[in-house]
Amino acid sequence: MLIAPSLLSCDFSKMGEEIARMDKAGADWMHLDVMDGHFVPNITFGAPVIKWVRPFTDKPFDVHLMISDPLRYIDDFADAGADIITLHIESDSDIDKTIEKIKNRGIKAGLVLKPKTPAEAVFPYLDKLDLVLIMTVEPGFGGQSFMADMMPKVRAVKEEITKRGLSVLIEADGGIGEATIAEVAEAGVDVSVAGTAVFKADDPSQAIKKLAAY
């Protein structure tokens, strides 16, 4: 299991140091949630902040765009140092064009499904993707409770990926920690986004090690 600490749970006043702390603790990726206050009812940070914190680690930046018009901003996030860009299938942008733009910048592309969006919505795009992110909470705020009823969706996407012989990773985000990681792993998740479970842990390296063991 790859572990991607969610910067949504870090101390924003020292974001660079928090990234370095997670790097040292053994994180595989850094998960950065970009929110525009329109697509989701919260605002976090944009490309300029990502650019400033990029030098604090060599680990991949997994940038999750919770914004209405991701196509418009792909170049900004590519220039800021994103290694992976995921956009919501429910966004207003043309999905094919947005994936194409991400790929043309030499960046991995992923699609995100909100809890109410069925697994089948992503199937037409699987051949073009590197990643599918399945939300296990409603996007917008950290610290929410894990929704176990999203696991059949994970299994359905995994089954389709396997059936087609693709090498698309499945990522899950929301309420993942020591109490829920086994269920997530069993369903077929490859990458777990963990927020409070690692940032608020007494020993983040032990917390990451325990989660990664699955």
Q: SS3 sequence, 161-185?
A: HHHCCCCCEEEEECCCCCCCHHHHH
Using the structure block, give the residue that is written with the tokens 């910067």. Answer: 7
Q: What residue ranges define each of the domains in the chain, with the CATH number in brackets?
A: 2-212 (3.20.20.70)
pLDDT at 144: 79
Q: What is the pLDDT of residue 141?
A: 75
pLDDT of residue 136: 95
Beta-bridged to residue 74, according to DSSP, are none
Beta-carbon contacts of residue 106 (< 8 Å; ≥ 6 apart): none
With H, G, I as helix, E, B as strand and everything else as coil, classify residue 43.
Answer: strand
Write phi, then psi, for 183 (nearest 5 degrees): -65, -40
Structure tokens at 91: 């966004």
Neighbours of 193 (CB within 10 A): 28
Instruction: Identify the pLDDT of residue 46.
Output: 97
> One of 33, 92, 96, 203 is an active-site residue; which one?
33
CA gap 169, 26 in Å, rounded: 20
Helices (H), 13-143: 15-24, 47-53, 74-80, 95-104
Q: What is the pLDDT, as a whole number, of residue 140? A: 79
Integer angstrom CA distances of residue 9 from 15, 22, 52, 72, 155:
10, 12, 18, 27, 28
CB atoms within 10 A of CB 171: 25
Catalytic residue check, 173: yes
As averages over each run of 10 residues, the pLDDT of the chain (214 residues) reads 97 97 98 97 96 98 98 98 98 98 98 97 98 93 85 98 98 95 97 96 97 96
Our answer to whether residue 33 is catalytic in this structure is yes
Give the C-alpha separation, 171 to 189, whole Å. Answer: 6
Global pTM reads 0.96
